[in-house]
Amino acid sequence: MKLLKILALVFLISSLNQCITYLNKDFPAYNPAKIDKKIGNIDFVLYYNHYNAAGERSLISEAVHKANKQAFNDIIGGCKCINKFNIYVDGLDDISKLNSKNLVNIEVTSKVKPTSSLILSSTLFVITAGLFPVFGEINGKTEFVAFNQGKEIKRYTYENDVIEVRQILLLFVMPFRNRSYITNQNVPDNFVNDIYRDKLYSSDSN
């Protein structure tokens, strides 16, 4: 009996690792800037905090930190308005000695909402051993805080809700999924274009 309980627990934990997320509302819409000269030499520092439905802060694994770093690196690097930049992740990289002239803190906070659908679907998920999907709603808030010479010069705040679906059968579709971002992709896309439009940093001479 004890072995069966252990196996059930392992099965449950492994099932919870398979999920698909999608935006409740696709906001904000992508708004690219008209590019003249590129900006550059900016360091981005990502801070990511996740809270469960009980309001407890979750531990973030190294794999998640690396995935988040790669995601933001791809998004920011894909903007035609920026040239040279670096991305550091709190909890993954050593940022204690970082002293950049042009610095942007990316503060992402996600919180699972304790909705009735989450409680009901979670109960059915356990009863059906993962066959019934869990439907959760996550509030995502992303703040970009721009600094110059250590002084805050502007703060941009974006907020949206993400629907998360968890089910054991999603294990079979995970290899065919597109990359999932921790925030609406339009958020960092728009931010990089916004700091270009607002002329917060000078153009890269190289």
Per-residue pLDDT reduced to its tens digit, 42-92: 999 999 998 887 888 888 889 889 988 988 898 888 888 888 899 999 999
| Predicted confidence (pLDDT) at residue 155 exceeds the cutoff of 60 | yes
Please name every residue paired with 45 in a beta bridge, in sequence order, or none if there are none. 88, 105
Half-sphere exposure of 21 (CA within 13 A, CB side): 20
List Cα–Cα distances, 15 to 31, 97, 171, in angstroms. 38, 40, 8
- Selected residue with higher pLDDT from 33 and 21: 33
Taking only the tens place, the pLDDT of each residue in 104-138 is 999 999 888 877 776 777 677 777 766 667 777 77
φ/ψ region of 162 (left if φ > 0, alpha if ψ in -120 to 50, else beta) reads: beta
What is the pTM for the complete model shown? 0.74
